[in-house]
Structure 1
């Protein structure tokens, strides 16, 4: 017996699980309850992918040795592979209970909870695992993954901040995992560099190629995306059905970008969704059908996409789907006409030392405005960041009552909050000396009171577009923000969200009277030079010529982190005007909801207007 155990272990190490199984079964005839033999038998069966036979052996180990944390952990792992996630969850919990200091079952439970879309639970468990092994790079990556799924951007940033010091990693799978998490955190260029490094060593790493090809498309490097994907899709490449499906969806995206709509639709209809929850497939299909003018099929696909996405959001964000939930969830502080006169007057930056804030309901043209401003050598923009959400969290953690009445903020408080704002900015971009900062985040319009409290002399540009075109464009997108995704779950809710958000903005503007320019998308595309000059005059810019060539500037940028990344690299055009008329049947029930804003902004619903 003493000599048999090393012999079995050696067979397993040598990749001979069948021989190991035979040795174990022969020995178990005489010693059927031997712990080591049972474990090695289970491992040999698992190595042969005979999970239905390995499971009862692992179960027997937990019965015979119920206090063995390792056995419960192994049992759970095989149940995951066998498609028994809920049973695995319970077994991992038992393993943790028996050995609270063991990192392994916590880590594996956390990853399982991500698969089960219990993102908050996964974050808790994986942060606990990291606390047990704080030097673990894999632990930081796993915890950051959970934070990304929870939209805890600050938590993910903190965990991932030291990642450049981890290089070289000497572990390609861990490096791919890091690239995946950086992608989730919208750090696309460094994720691409990590994957390029892996593929230089392992050209046949199909998962790395697929992800990198997707990132190249996201970076507007279409030729590179096709070249990276091509080896994956070759008949002898050994790609799995899942990998080929993902490749087909990327090929469809590339065909759509190249305006080969028939090819894109053929690929999507042939490949189909990757699973019962693949809402991204239906968003892609809707985009292609819309381009082909098949509006009925486009809307059917959109309804299905939002049905599936809302089903997932109800799991990770149930608070947005209660009967009392507002159409557009808002956690930003407001200010009333009675409160504002009580605000103390403090020393604050002048307009030229304050950021320029570009706001508007999503899909109203804010990205185009941002790229125009960023093209000017005296201005510098950055991708969307929820800075004021984070500042509010800081205040809320200190005393939630502050957000109920911002007049309690003192000069010192405002100074410190501005310092924290600029610290967060510096973590996202390297500031160029002598430039004015452009902070573009559409839904910063919800944060006007807090922005104004810190930067009362700042200039605001409100991007405005026909409400129906805005709603159609939003409905055709899958937004990362859970609140915005919930607001887009139905056309009716989206219309109410638009009205609620715009009404709140108008109320706050009437109280605060910020320095504001309204930029209508329709006017901007109709007379681009004149409207550009108007914007430049508002901002005190002498030469607007660089802003007229924003599309050239955008094409040279490494990354544009918004859904319109593929559109702002094109010259100004009128393709986005009046699209909603193609879906007029769907929009007729929405017009009474939108009427207050249509009247306020003087937009017509007449197709000939």
Structure 2
């Protein structure tokens, strides 16, 4: 029965996209809703949209505490360069940036591996899943947690090349930026931004592999609420930390390609390469 439902969902998605292509948007919307309803029925025993929202709420409540702004900074230097992340809301252009940047001979993008998720799980095993451990970070514990991250990241690099820079791309790592910044104050973030209406609608129309976070895209209202929650926590991080970040708008990449990519390369301190245009 499940395989029949999956086939039916695929058929309806094709219909929805077809109606969208010929400009019959009300029909398209109706069929996207049907496809998402089938997706929910297939996956509802394994997903819980509230879990993702609670994860954000937990971090929002923690990081708005004034104690966070008074954290003592420690020496963040280690043998490895500070990590670089591509973050943003799903369907905001992170994959486009990945495709462009990986064409540069000195850049390797690690695409959507759960490195940060696994890193945080490993840390939580040691600190009983409580964010309060972040108040008590010292140089020794920071060094230990940094090594844990690089060990996990380097498993996803085929051949570590000292001349290359490595970018960890996972859009919703945006939720964990506070934890990342506590351990890596000098981390760099490329923040992909797209018009909220386009972004939210695109998420609703996309057939994502279901998990707790993606289950927020099965209807338009939930998609908009999830977008709001994610953007609010990023704004909280921006107001709380001095973040080494560069925001790139999807629309600018499309309309003014070379200037937009050159600005990102300047941020990464990498020279322009002709390979980018190939």
**Comparing both structures, which one devotes a greater share of its residues to helix?**
1
Match of 2:142 among 392, 411, 414: 414
Q: Would you say the 8 A contact 2:265–2:271 is kept in 1?
A: yes
State the partner residue of 2:167: 438
Rounded to whole Å, the distance in 2 between the matches of 1:465 and 1:444 is: 17
- Secondary structure of the 1:371 match is helix
Contact 1:459 1:514 in 2 (8 A): yes
77, 88, 93: which one aligns with 1:360: 88
SS in 2 for 1:433: coil
Partners in 2 of 1:433 and 1:424 — Cα distance? Answer: 17
Q: CA deviation at 1:504?
A: 0.9
- Inter-partner Cα distance in structure 1 for 2:111 and 2:266: 24
Aligned-CA RMSD value = 2.6
Find 1:313's aligned residue among 40, 43, 50. 43
> In the aligned structure 2, how far is the partner of 1:351 from the partner of 1:473?
41
Displacement of 1:388: 1.9
Residue 227 of structure 2: aligned partner: 498
- 1:566-588, Cα deviation, whole Å (9 max, x unpaired): xxxxxxxxxxxxxxxxxxxxxxx
Change (3 A) 1:382 1:401: closer
Instruction: State the Cα distance separating 1:311 from its structure 2 match.
Output: 2.1
Matches within 5 A, 1:389-538: 389-400=117-128, 402-430=130-158, 431-538=160-267
Q: Partner of 2:248: helix, strand, or coil? A: strand
Where does 1:118-157 land on structure 2 (aligned, <5 Å)? none
Deviations 1:485-536 (A, max 9, x none): 3211210111111111101110111101201111011111111111122112
Hey, which of these two has a bigger chunk of strand by percent? Answer: 2
Q: Distance in 1 between matches of 2:273 and 2:78?
A: 22
Relative CO higher for 1 or 2, CA cutoff 8 Å, sep ≥ 6? 2
Q: What SS does the aligned partner of 2:234 have?
A: helix
2:29 and 2:132 map into 1 onto residues whose CA distance is 41
Q: Is the 8 A contact 1:395 1:403 kept in 2?
A: no
- Equivalent residue, structure 2, for 1:107: none
Residue from 33, 56, 66 that aligns with 1:303: 33
Instruction: Tell me the distance in 1 between the aligned counterparts of 2:115 and 2:138.
Output: 20
Q: What is the CA distance between 1:423 and its match in structure 2?
A: 1.8
Do the aligned partners of 1:355 and 1:459 also contact (CA within 8 Å) in 2? Answer: yes
Residue 55 (structure 2) pairs with residue 330 (structure 1):
yes
1:283 and 1:305 in contact (8 A); partners too? yes
Corresponding residue for 1:9? Answer: none
Structure 1 residue ranges without an equivalent (≥5): 1-114, 117-241, 243-273, 550-609
Q: What TM-score does the superposition give when structure 2 sets the normalisation length?
A: 0.88
- Pick the aligned partner of 2:108 from 365, 380, 405: 380
Cα 1:351–1:369, aligned 2, differ >3 Å: closer, same or farther? farther
| Paired residues for 1:532-551 under 5 Å | 532-549=261-278
Instruction: Indicate how the Cα distance of structure 1 residues 350 and 371 shifts in structure 2: closer, same or farther if over 3 A, else same.
Output: farther
Q: Secondary structure at the match of 2:5?
A: coil
Deviations, residues 265-285 of structure 1 (Å, cap 9, x unaligned): xxxxxxxxx338843332233
Shift of 1:309: 1.4
Written as runs of structure 1 = structure 2, the 5 A alignment for 1:248-327 is 274-275=4-5, 278-317=8-47, 319-320=48-49, 325=50
Q: From the CA coordinates, give the structure whose radius of gyration is larger.
A: 1
Give the paired residue count: 274
Asked if the contact 1:339–1:405 (Cα under 8 Å) also holds between the matched residues in 2, the reply is no
TM-score between the two structures when normalised by the length of structure 1: 0.42
Q: Are the aligned partners of 1:327 and 1:494 in contact in 2 as well (CA < 8 Å)?
A: no
1:327/1:398 CA distance change after superposition, 3 Å:
closer
Quick one: distance in 2 between partners of 1:512 and 1:544? Answer: 32
CA distance 1:496–1:308, change in 2 (3 Å): same
